[in-house]
Structures are given as structure tokens and as C-alpha cells.
Chain A
């Protein structure tokens, strides 16, 4: 029985290892400075890169985080502090439903309410669509992380004369922060690779653009376009793009982990 769990554990990590190995083998050859510095070349010309898509993805993630993190963390804090109340239960349920919403539906929603009124595709619409997708993820992890902070800390702060809001912010939230950041990163990583909501919001762009009011290139879109093309050169570019996308997620995770690492090592013991 125990050995079965070992096998299951090995199988759980196998897909990731397989994907990484394959990505490196297929994509590493196309990764060079030009891939990060240059724009896509027209069909037939060799070389070129995805500079616009890389920057576009970073911009989209930033917009998404700006929208999703404050709302998600705030809602999570509310849910954790008002557990058991009817409104909190309703919010939690709706948040779970939102979490299960297919990403293509989110894209249509963003198109209907952001793209159509504006009259054009835009990075802003794409970023907001991704941000809304982040909200339930962040809400859930924030709530869970706050709940594992012992109630005795809250009492200790209140007994010292801390106001309620101050207890929540500087004691509870602060103690739960490493866990919340990890949750936020998972959410960022999730939406960084989303393609469907971007199809009719950010739309993609073959040219250089960093304006949030205009259509913008994004790695997942670029990977999609290249992967379904009939050209071998584009295929290897697509593999390289996928590798870079995973690299971005990895770098963000590591950077934020380092930034929030407690001054004393593990924060909650």
C-alpha cells in the first residue's frame, strides 16, 4: 500500500518532468538573444524573436495582478473574518462558481463589456479578463491562509489595544503573507498561460505595441498562431515561446518567494 503511494507520487511529478524535458529539447535551440530582442520575422525569413509577445505578456500579467490581487485579497480577508455569516457563505459560493467558469466565457464577457463599447481590442480588456479570473483563486487561498493564523494572535493584538482593522492588517495579514503571496503567484502563473480569454480581447499583434489601449501580442497567442502554422521554423519558435512562458512564471515565483521570505526563515511555526 505504501509503495503504491510512492508510485502515485512519482506519477504526479512525471508529466511536469516530461513536459520540461521535451520543451528544452524542442525549444532550446531557438532560444538566443535575438528571440528576446527581435520582432517576429515574416514567413521565409529565418531568425526573429518574440520580443513583442514577451513584453505583451508581462503587461497583461501586470494589469491582471492590479485588478485581481487587491480584490481577491480583500475578499479573502472578508471571508476569513466573517466566517459563518450568510453573506460570507454566499460570497464564497459565488467565488467558487466563478472559479469554475470556463475561460472562454470570461473572454466573451470581456469582449461584450469592454471591447465592444470601446470599439477595438485592447491590452486593457485582456488584462481585466485575466484579472477577473484571478479573483476567485486569490480569494480562496487568502481565506485559507488567514484561517490558519491562530486566533490567539488576534486576541493578543486586541488585548494590547490594537484596533480591529489594525489587527487584521498588521498582525493577521502580515503573518499570513507568505502563504498569500504563494497563492497570488499560483494565480498569476495560471492566467499567464491563458489563451482563450485573450483571443477576442488582447487579440494579439504582429507589431511592436506596449499601449494598453491597443491590441497587444501575448506569448500564449503567439504560441498558438505559430504552432498551428505549417512552417517548421515557426514550430520551433512556438516551442521556444512555451519555454520562455514557463521561464517567466518560474522567475516570478522565485523572485516573489525571495522578496517575501520572512526575515527569520519560516514565519508561521
Chain B
């Protein structure tokens, strides 16, 4: 699968992923169940797309994430929840090697993308990030670029040739369509990316991440700075996108995790406490701490 994409400084030494053929459970939607949606194709068997193995992430000597083992299945949404400061964002940032961009930060253990270690020797962080897109808490459109150029920004730095203007236009349109923004901005693609609303900016950032066709999309509290209407749009978007890509979402909002995710992982003080199909985690948590958190006793 990796060969399809043009990049490959990810050197290919597949390691076996122990739970590679884990069966996915069909999760009934708790609160969010759009009637008119087509049922997903590969509902039955899920393979692991991204896996953390004994992953720890440090800031200096302080471990923000400790010994996490977590498998994220292909074309599923995995939500990571937990109280502020529990390390969920740091964990997410370890998945595309953004963690190490902070000075003094480092990671131990491994993360496998389709069986390939992203922290392996000879694997560049740049190549990893081109396969694993990320969207942040606050919208981050590049203010000096037009809407179109923002979406095309990632294409410029891919290896190989920059697609032609026409191809770029097609890719931009496709990405904006997938991000559900095309209808709103198609008449002003050349205008400033910061002139649109916050919610639109966030979907623009999602479109920008989609344009390079990543295998995985990481969302770091993508709706934390948005109003409820924009939040709903982003959630619907996430729900739709899972048919084509693996999504990992950090959220503060348990209802959101319940609405859009297939599996939910609960973190506390840097450790992964429990991971289960979303429905199971919210209805029959196995760990007392998970139960305490989801019933609102702390956090």
C-alpha cells in the first residue's frame, strides 16, 4: 500500500504487528446516526494501520506518555480521551513525529505505520509527516496564501514533480469537496484564507491535509475552538472520511468521541488505561478510573 505513494524514505523493514488481523467490532452509533449515510464497505475485517508499541514520550526527563501500546485500525476512527495534561496530545504528536520538534523532546518505543517503524533508522520525519496528516486545535491557514494555495501547500513539498496547474486545481477541488468546503469557497479560491470563518478555516486545514492523500489523519481537538454548528460539520466530515482513511482524534469532549469514533482510548497521567470499542468503553468500562472519568467524577 505504501508503494502506491510516491514517497519512500520510509525504509521498508516490515515488522510483524501482533494484532494485525484483529476483528473490528461494529459499533452502534450512540448519539450521532445520520440516516441517509451509506453503510461502510469494509465493515467486517479491520487491519491495523498504525500501532504504538511500548511508546513513551519525554520532555527532557519528564515522561508525558508512558509505555503505551495502542493499535489503530485501518479506516476506523480512534478517539483518545482523558483529562487535560494526561498526555493525549503528546501521544498523538508522537504518531507523526511532531513531538520531536519541541526542543528536549524525545520518544522511546516504536510506532508502526503499516508495519513499518516510523522511528526506524533511515526513516525521515519529513517522509512520515507526508503520510500522516495532522490538523490542530486552532485553525492554521497560511495567511499569505490564497485558499487554493493553502490546499495545494503540501503538494509543493512532496518528492518528485509538482503537479501541473491543472492537476493541482483538480486536487484542490477534490480535497475541498472531501472537506465539505467546496460549495462555500469555489467562487473565491484566490482570496485570502484568513477571510473565511473559523469553522471554514478548520475545514480548509483538513482539506490541506487531505490534498496529499495521507494514509492517516491525526486530529488534535479539531473542534475545540469552533462554534457548535461548525463542530457538527467537522464531526460529520470525520464520519465521512473514515471510509478512505484511518483517523485518530484527540478530544476533550466525550460526547464527541461517542458520536464519531469506532474505538476509544482513555488516558490518565501519561498511561493508557483502557481501549475498547467506543460503545463498550462508554457503557461497560472495565477499569474503575475509566468509569470515574466518563461518569464525570473527575477531569
Contact = CB atoms under 8 A, between A and B. Distances in A.
Interface in B193-209: 194-195, 205, 208-209
A263 B146 contact: yes
Contacts of B140: 150, 152-153, 155-156
Contact of A155 (B101, B154, B208): B101
A264 B190 CA distance: 9
Contact of B157 (A160, A262, A267): A160
A32 interface: no
B138 A161 contact: no
Interface string A170-187: 010011010000000000
A154 B258 CA distance: 32
A244 B140 CA distance: 45
B241 interface: no
A143 B126 CA distance: 26
**Central interface residue in A152, A156, A268, A269, by most chain B CB within 10 Å:** A156
Interface string B112-145: 0000000000000011011001101010101110
Contacts, number: 70
Q: How large is the interface on B (under 10, 10 to 19, 20 to 34, 35 or more residues)?
A: 20 to 34
B191 interface: yes
B189 interface: no
A160 B101 contact: no
Nearest to A173: B144
B133 A268 contact: no
Contacts of A158: 98, 101, 129
A150 B209 CA distance: 19
Contact of A163 (B98, B126, B136, B138): B126
B202 to A, nearest CB: 12
Interface of B: 96, 98, 101, 126-127, 129-130, 133-134, 136, 138, 140, 142-144, 146, 153-154, 157-158, 191-192, 194-195, 205, 208-209, 212
